[in-house]
Amino acid sequence: MSDVSDAGPEVLIIPTGIANLASVEAGLRRAGAQVRTSRDPAELVDAAAVVLPGVGAFDAGLEGLRGLRGIAEALVERIAADRPTLAVCLGLQLLLHASEESASGAAGLGIVPGRATRFPDSVRVPQLGWNLVESDPACRLLGSGGYAYFANSYRLAEIPAGFACGLADHGGRFVAALERGNLLACQFHPELSGRYGAALLRRFVERAQEVQPC
């Protein structure tokens, strides 16, 4: 990875093996962050900010995450401590209790209440392309809404209690993103979402800068 200015906070990306890390890394660097990957649970618990990326199937994503010894537990710990954490696409679904996609019935991390379900057959599945995100006024990191790029076959259809949400519509309303404290989870790809996504990543990096230990 190339050297960057040390002015911004360090953001650690979890290398799950199920994501295009290059685009996520590039988006974060443009937002002013120093970026590297880490498989060290202790580092991930205490980092200024952490990103959980992901694409593909729920079972494969969960296997990749749990295959990194101690990382799932580190994620649970840092989110419980309200440290800045961003989950992207499948990363959001891995935070849930479960997914209809799981052939084995495997449990997710259980950080966010809910179960991912498949889009209805009345619309194109997977959803590929741009869709409007409308944000709850309580959203701070997500911003006021805009068009974002999605690539998903499953989604969280019910708003979880205790979270501020952004919603989109594809065969019915679904959770496009959710946030609580310093946790932000996006079903869309902010790193591929133009100005809207770039502004979101800047807000996330700025939050990490504000709350990181001296």
All domains in the chain, ordered by first residue: 10-211 (3.40.50.880)
Largest CA distance in the chain: 52
Confidence tier at 214 by pLDDT (50, 70, 90): low
Whether the predicted pLDDT of 188 surpasses 60: yes
**pLDDT at position 2:** 38
Whether the predicted pLDDT of 213 surpasses 70: no
Residue 171 burial (CB count, 10 A): 16
Q: Rounded CA gap, 158 and 179, in Å?
A: 14
For the chain, the first-to-last Cα distance in angstroms comes to: 25
**In the 8-state DSSP scheme, what is residue 166?**
E
The predicted-structure confidence for 137-176, as pLDDT tens digits, reads as follows 999 999 999 999 999 999 999 999 999 999 999 999 999 9
Give backbone dihedrals phi and psi of 110, rounded to 5 degrees, phi first.
Answer: 75, 20
Helices 58-66 and 71-80: angle between axes, nearest 10 degrees:
90
H-assigned helices in 150-193: none
Which tokens belong to 47?
């980092």
Whether the predicted pLDDT of 4 surpasses 80: no
The predicted-structure confidence for 68-121, as pLDDT tens digits, reads as follows 999 999 999 999 999 999 999 999 999 999 999 999 899 999 999 999 999 999
Give, in degrees to the nearest 5, the angle at Cα 186 between 55 and 117. 65
Global confidence as pTM: 0.94
Q: Rounded CA gap, 105 and 88, in Å?
A: 22
Which sign does the torsion angle of CA 37, 41, 43, 44 carry? positive
The residues annotated as belonging to the active site are 89, 189, 191
